[in-house]
Amino acid sequence: MPDTRTISAYEDDMNDAVREAAALLASGEIVAVPTETVYGLAADAFNPEAVAKVFAAKERPDFDPLIVHIAAYRELAEVAEMPEELESVVKSLAGAFWPGPLTILLPKSAKVPDLVTSGLPTVAVRQSANVIFRAIGRALGRPIAAPSANRFGRISPTSASAVEKELGGRIPLIVDGGACNQGIESTIISIELGETRPLIRVLRAGPVTKEELQKFGKVVIEKRKADAPDAPGQLAHHYAPETPLLMFDKPSDFKPEPDKRYGLISYRGDEKAGYLHLHEWELVEELSPGSGKLQEAAIRLFYVMRMMDEEGLDAIVVEPVSEVGLGVAIMDRLRKASVKGG
Ligand code: TXA
Ligand code: MG
């Protein structure tokens, strides 16, 4: 593999970058591209050889299926067989959240290679809102299979430089579209016909919250199955930094060992949570220094985790956030990343 090139897709560079990325994808290559959630490692979803390269570059086990990204709603019919009884709720959800960070599981069409769905009868579909990603999809004229552009089990990248650290030397091209404006991966749902209203199961919490989905049906947040770590989409330990990440039920549960260097990921960097003055931290980083808002915390979460991971600490302690709205998705990522995850 030659060196990985990073090209800018800012302003005047965008058209050239889109053309180059689409041409590589059309030739069966893989390219890292920005989305509004995290960077994705893209391949032509209908080309199994290209999809195989995605699994290889990520060292991803082939039982963990990929999300297929469509460029327009009409492409949905190419990748999924829409059950008649779900058509209206899917249409409403797509109308409300697409393009955007919502991924919907539907029965797959025969055109989608089994490798993409790991042999499952369903396909995970979304339409990204990122303008660069959308332009690449339109130029390619085919749906794009893209998992997050990190090595398997590691933190999703939210910048081109984070992708370079994850996959440099393994892929030919990274399209730099700046920092992702959501910062955590899409919400993944499945839908069933309920007794009175559709039943929406949240398989992965994300930027589209339970509260927002409740307008469209009864929403259940699926608990991850720690006893079934092989089930696709249900891997318990994930998104992890190399430095152990510790999360406690209460501050007093933290029992520092002498001579060990600890860092703190604090929500706002204030005393309220009870961690700031608990210990002489080597380093404190705030998730939401500006506004104390979950939105800002989500955008910064993986960036802060990566930055702390590079400090050579013995462990990173993270303050839990309240599990409302986006806080559900943030706590999901923190539990999956932490060694004491409950
Ligand atoms: O925001 C996102 O969703 C990003 C951007 C690039 O679109 N993508 C992403 O992909 O996070 P990935 O592969 O890192 O996570 C997709 C998750 C995996 O946990 C996978 O197991 C699950 O979706 N998944 C995919 N297809 C599935 C299926 N048919 N049934 C159940 N889970 C599925
Ligand atoms: Mg991922």
pLDDT digits (tens, 9 = 90+) for 141-184: 999 999 999 999 999 999 999 999 999 999 999 999 999 999 99
Q: How many domains is the chain partitioned into structurally?
A: 2
* Whether residue 120 sits in one domain with residue 38: yes
| 336 alpha carbon, distance to own chain's centre | 13
Name the nearest CA neighbour of 112 among 91, 143, 88. Answer: 143
- Average pLDDT on 125-146 reads 98
Atom 21 in ligand 1: residue holding the nearest Cα: 233
- Ligand minimally distant from the alpha carbon of residue 154: 2
**Distance in angstroms (rounded) separating the CA atoms of residues 83 and 60:** 30
Q: How far is the CA of 151 from the centre of ligand 2 (A)?
A: 8
Residue 228 has pLDDT above 60, yes or no: no
Q: What is the CA radius of gyration of the chain?
A: 20
Residues of the chain with pLDDT > 70, as a percent, come to 94
Residue 339 has pLDDT above 90, yes or no: no
- Average pLDDT on 251-272 reads 95
pLDDT, mean over the chain: 94
**H or E segment at 334?**
helix 327-337
Q: Are 34 and 133 in contact (CB under 8 A)?
A: yes
Supply the CATH number for residue 28's domain: 3.90.870.10
Q: Per the domain annotation, does 199 fall within a domain?
A: no
pTM for the whole thing? Answer: 0.95
Q: How far is the CA of 103 from the centre of ligand 1 (A)?
A: 8
| Sign of CA pseudo-dihedral 226, 305, 101, 48 | negative
**Distance in angstroms (rounded) separating the CA atoms of residues 232 and 118:** 8
Last residue of a domain, one of 157, 176, 195: 176
Residue 230 has pLDDT above 60, yes or no: no
Give residue 321's domain range. 245-337
Q: How far is the CA of 99 from the centre of ligand 1 (A)?
A: 16
Ligand 2 (ion): which residues have CB within 5 A? Answer: 148
Q: Per the domain annotation, does 83 fall within a domain?
A: no
What is the structure's pLDDT at 233? 52
**Cβ neighbours for 185, distance < 8 A, ≥ 6 positions apart:** 37, 38, 101, 148, 156, 204, 206
**Distance in angstroms (rounded) separating the CA atoms of residues 265 and 318:** 5
Minimum mean pLDDT range among 30-39, 276-285, 289-298: 289-298
Residue 113 has pLDDT above 90, yes or no: yes
> If you write DSSP's letter for every residue of 82-112 in order, what string do you get?
--GGGHHHHHHHHHHH-SSSEEEEEEBPTTS
Partners of 201 in the β-ladder: 190, 220
Atom 19 in ligand 1: residue holding the nearest Cα: 233
- Residues touching ligand 1 (Cβ under 6 Å) are 35, 37-38, 40, 64-67, 101, 103, 105, 117, 120, 122-124, 146-148, 185-186, 188, 232-233
* Whether residue 293 sits in one domain with residue 168: no
* Whether residue 273 sits in one domain with residue 165: no
Last residue of a domain, one of 119, 146, 176: 176
Supply the CATH number for residue 324's domain: 3.40.50.11030
